Chain A
Amino acid sequence: MKAVTSLYLAQARQFLRDRMTLLFVLLLPVGFAVFFGLVFSGSSAFVLRIGVVNEDTGAAGGALVAGLPHEAYDLQVDGRQALEASLRQGDVHAVMILPADMSERLASGLSVPVEVLYDPANSTSAGVGLGLVRTLLSEANLGLAGAPQLLEMRPTSLQVEHARAIDFYLPGMLGVALLWLGVFGTAQPVMAQREGKIFRRFQVTAITRVTILTAEVAWRVTVGLLQAAIFLLVGYFGFKVGVADWLPFAASVLMGTLVFVSLGYALAGIGRSPEGTMAIGQLLNFPMMMLSGSIISADMLPALFRPVVAAMPLTYLSDMLRQTMVGAPAMHPMGLDFAILGAWLVGLLAIAVWRWRWE
């Protein structure tokens, strides 16, 4: 224990005194979140507006519209042309079109294609709007599958009354911060310590390799928790963003930290030089940041990118963080997010162990 504590403290000092690492890992992500939040939010009194065009010739469309909850957003029911014009002007953020044959298809047991229009130029609100529409539709689906009255819906508080840019960016950038902990806060210093023969020097002391790695990983998990704490402090005191659900939030942060720290160790194992490792790191970092829904809503990406989005661990971490921090509509059930991150953790850990080199 004495050895783990000594190594842990030494790692902490080395990390906290290195200004570049501090900047990249601890300060830049929250800075970006605040910057995006301020730049892309028109005002803090943003209200999400969803348009519904009911072209259904039967009764189902009307019943669905009547059953939609109204507490969380503004609902505008109108004709297609009027709502398309409103969408272009930014007055509504997404438009759901219930097709003419909706009742007929439902009666025949067929699925109903619901067209959803959005404006990609307005990324934040469109992203939140699309998420909300997805939730509304899945609620309707649940009702259709289980309830005797096919279109009866339970009113659900979606907690997006004050959907603001910062609500979108803060959890997203926390996910990116944990990714950067892996690339800049793990792979890079691990490579530097290997190149500097520091691990080698520790090996000729009385401790075992397990002790070295325990202290290493423990410190990096601490950094992950520190990052989360900084985001919470900035979010709470700067923007009144709290945590909707503490336990799953803590579990998400811990899981995200472990996944990306493992990614860092795997990268350090794969790379043959610090430059090579950082090149591979950037190759993963940039697409993951842009395509995971952390900064740009995944709903707005072309269908071509969907498999990439679905493959990346940050997609699921950002989804979990948004759900647990601001109660955002779920892209995936929390259990699925957790399971996929768990699978990534096992895979990355296996690569990290397999490719690990002391020198």
Chain B
Amino acid sequence: MEAAIEVSDLRKTYGGVPAVDGISFQVAQGEVFGLLGPNGAGKTTTVECLLGLRSADSGRLQLLGSERGAQDPAVRSRLGVQLQTTGLLSQLTVREQVALFSGLFPRALPAAQVLQAVGLDDKAGAATHALSGGQKQRLAVALALVNDPELVFLDEPTTGLDPQARRGLWEVIGDVRQRGRSVLLTTHYMEEAEQLCDRVAVIDHGRIIEMDSPEALIRKHFREQAIEFVARGSGPRPNLESLAGVSQVLAQNGGTALFSTDVPATMAGLFDLVSRGQLAFDDITIRKATLEDVFLKLTGRRIRS
């Protein structure tokens, strides 16, 4: 079965600075593939090169088996696209927007079905300029689905949304996945990537530094669990690396995360330090490692820093 997307050694520079520096990946049909990285990592440039909105300096691209990719209107008719900045005619109503975009494809789903899919059916008569940020994003996703596309590009679809609106959009994307469509999703939300993606490519400074399923990536980098706490006081810290079971100590979320292969032994060591007055803390949590931990380990910084 041909891949939905094939990218090989893609390069793009702006003023001599590489934005995309030799990226290669494949997205299988029916797969939700995530490009995960901080702002400026090269995710959007990659998407724009794939969509023909920017010309790559070099590299090979293939969409739905076509070498011409998005240059070919026949291929574009099988794509659904939500760009990071949504360009919408502000005076049109939601229903009119869907009708407009339906007219730009050879075949389209009924407007009511599309609006229902994104939960905007009750806003069909509302003017676009009167929608909230979350509703506009949902409309942008709706417009990416009007032609019942085989391959959907979603460029940071939930950026700037409140948690509730974000989860609402996750459901929409989940439905697309259920219907067996291929999706290329860019995000800097780790939780989003973990929830939605079959595979992710962790991208930083224009390069893919890891690529696998979220679970495999976590498993590869962390066999351990994380013990997180925020220490009280500003005195000298005891040597936490020497505690039993600890493999790594990372500063995270203003606190400390100990990655341990033997949580009971590490906890015993911590409480021993507390009882000897060498350490004090209010809260302590034990959790599994996440993609955020993977990114921190790979790059030395948090994704949104």
Residues of A within 8 A of B (CB): 2-3, 5-7, 9-10, 13-14, 17-18, 193, 196-208, 359
C-alpha spacing A242/B85, complex, angstroms: 50
Give A198's nearest chain B residue, CB to CB: B87
C-alpha spacing A18/B129, complex, angstroms: 12
C-alpha spacing A207/B86, complex, angstroms: 18
With A14-B89, A201-B86, A201-B87 known as contacts, the answer to whether A3 contacts B81 (CB < 8 A) is no
A13 → B minimal CB distance (Å)? 6
A340 → B minimal CB distance (Å)? 36
Contacts of B100 in A (CB 8 A): 6-7, 9-10
Say whether B51 faces chain A, with CB atoms less than 8 Å apart.
Answer: yes
A327 → B minimal CB distance (Å)? 41
User: Are A208 and B73 neighbours in the complex by a CB distance under 8 Å?
Assistant: yes
User: Are A205 and B105 neighbours in the complex by a CB distance under 8 Å?
Assistant: yes
Contact check: which of A5, A6, A207, A359 meets B73 at CB < 8 Å? A207
Contact check: which of A3, A14, A17, A196 meets B104 at CB < 8 Å? A3
User: Are B103 and A200 neighbours in the complex by a CB distance under 8 Å?
Assistant: no
User: Are A204 and B76 neighbours in the complex by a CB distance under 8 Å?
Assistant: yes
Contacts of B77 in A (CB 8 A): 206
User: Are A2 and B103 neighbours in the complex by a CB distance under 8 Å?
Assistant: yes
Say whether B24 faces chain A, with CB atoms less than 8 Å apart.
Answer: no
A sample of 13 inter-chain contacts (CB < 8 A) reads A7-B103, A10-B89, A13-B89, A13-B92, A197-B83, A198-B88, A199-B87, A200-B87, A201-B87, A204-B76, A204-B79, A205-B101, A206-B104
A322 → B minimal CB distance (Å)? 36
Give B99's nearest chain A residue, CB to CB: A6
Contacts of A6 in B (CB 8 A): 99-100, 102-104
Say whether B91 faces chain A, with CB atoms less than 8 Å apart.
Answer: yes
Give B76's nearest chain A residue, CB to CB: A206
Contacts of B70 in A (CB 8 A): 204
With A205-B105, A207-B104 known as contacts, the answer to whether A14 contacts B86 (CB < 8 A) is no
The interface residues of chain B, by DSSP majority, are classed as loop
C-alpha spacing A17/B76, complex, angstroms: 31
User: Are B103 and A204 neighbours in the complex by a CB distance under 8 Å?
Assistant: no
Give B89's nearest chain A residue, CB to CB: A14
Give B75's nearest chain A residue, CB to CB: A206
Contacts of B73 in A (CB 8 A): 206-208
User: Are B92 and A206 neighbours in the complex by a CB distance under 8 Å?
Assistant: no
Contacts of A197 in B (CB 8 A): 83, 85-87
Contacts of B15 in A (CB 8 A): none
User: Are B53 and A206 neighbours in the complex by a CB distance under 8 Å?
Assistant: no
Give B127's nearest chain A residue, CB to CB: A17
User: Are A13 and B103 neighbours in the complex by a CB distance under 8 Å?
Assistant: no
C-alpha spacing A9/B87, complex, angstroms: 17
Contact check: which of B51, B74, B90 meets A204 at CB < 8 Å? B51
C-alpha spacing A200/B87, complex, angstroms: 7
B111 → A minimal CB distance (Å)? 12
C-alpha spacing A10/B101, complex, angstroms: 10
A3 → B minimal CB distance (Å)? 5
With A6-B100, A200-B53 known as contacts, the answer to whether A206 contacts B106 (CB < 8 A) is yes
C-alpha spacing A201/B85, complex, angstroms: 9
Say whether B186 faces chain A, with CB atoms less than 8 Å apart.
Answer: no
C-alpha spacing A199/B104, complex, angstroms: 13
Say whether B121 faces chain A, with CB atoms less than 8 Å apart.
Answer: no
User: Are B104 and A205 neighbours in the complex by a CB distance under 8 Å?
Assistant: yes
Contacts of A13 in B (CB 8 A): 89, 91-92, 96
C-alpha spacing A198/B89, complex, angstroms: 7
The winner among B70, B92, B103, B105 for most chain A CB atoms within 10 A is: B103
User: Are A14 and B147 neighbours in the complex by a CB distance under 8 Å?
Assistant: no
Contacts of B101 in A (CB 8 A): 205
With A3-B103, A13-B96 known as contacts, the answer to whether A204 contacts B53 (CB < 8 A) is yes
Give B83's nearest chain A residue, CB to CB: A201
Going nearest first, the 5 A-B pairs with the smallest beta carbon separation are A6-B103, A206-B77, A197-B87, A198-B87, A205-B104
Give B146's nearest chain A residue, CB to CB: A205
With A13-B92, A13-B96 known as contacts, the answer to whether A206 contacts B86 (CB < 8 A) is no
C-alpha spacing A18/B89, complex, angstroms: 11
Give A192's nearest chain B residue, CB to CB: B90
Give A17's nearest chain B residue, CB to CB: B91
Contact check: which of B53, B79, B85, B96 meets A10 at CB < 8 Å? B96
C-alpha spacing A117/B111, complex, angstroms: 70
C-alpha spacing A127/B76, complex, angstroms: 59
Given contact pairs A6-B100, A203-B53, A205-B76, a sample of 8 additional A-B residue pairs in the complex whose CB atoms are under 8 Å apart: A6-B103, A197-B87, A198-B88, A202-B104, A206-B74, A206-B105, A207-B73, A207-B104
C-alpha spacing A13/B100, complex, angstroms: 11
Contacts of B90 in A (CB 8 A): 14, 196
C-alpha spacing A208/B70, complex, angstroms: 11
C-alpha spacing A38/B58, complex, angstroms: 67
B122 → A minimal CB distance (Å)? 21
C-alpha spacing A200/B81, complex, angstroms: 11
User: Are A5 and B103 neighbours in the complex by a CB distance under 8 Å?
Assistant: yes
Give A197's nearest chain B residue, CB to CB: B87
C-alpha spacing A198/B88, complex, angstroms: 6
Contacts of A196 in B (CB 8 A): 87-88, 90
B85 → A minimal CB distance (Å)? 5
Contacts of B88 in A (CB 8 A): 196, 198, 201
C-alpha spacing A208/B85, complex, angstroms: 21
Which parts of B252-266 form the interface with A (CB within 8 Å)?
A: none
C-alpha spacing A200/B54, complex, angstroms: 11
Contacts of A201 in B (CB 8 A): 81, 83, 86-88
C-alpha spacing A10/B90, complex, angstroms: 10
Give B70's nearest chain A residue, CB to CB: A204
C-alpha spacing A197/B76, complex, angstroms: 18
User: Are B92 and A204 neighbours in the complex by a CB distance under 8 Å?
Assistant: no
User: Are B92 and A10 neighbours in the complex by a CB distance under 8 Å?
Assistant: yes
Contact check: which of B83, B102, B106 meets A200 at CB < 8 Å? B83
C-alpha spacing A199/B92, complex, angstroms: 16
B190 → A minimal CB distance (Å)? 27
C-alpha spacing A193/B105, complex, angstroms: 21
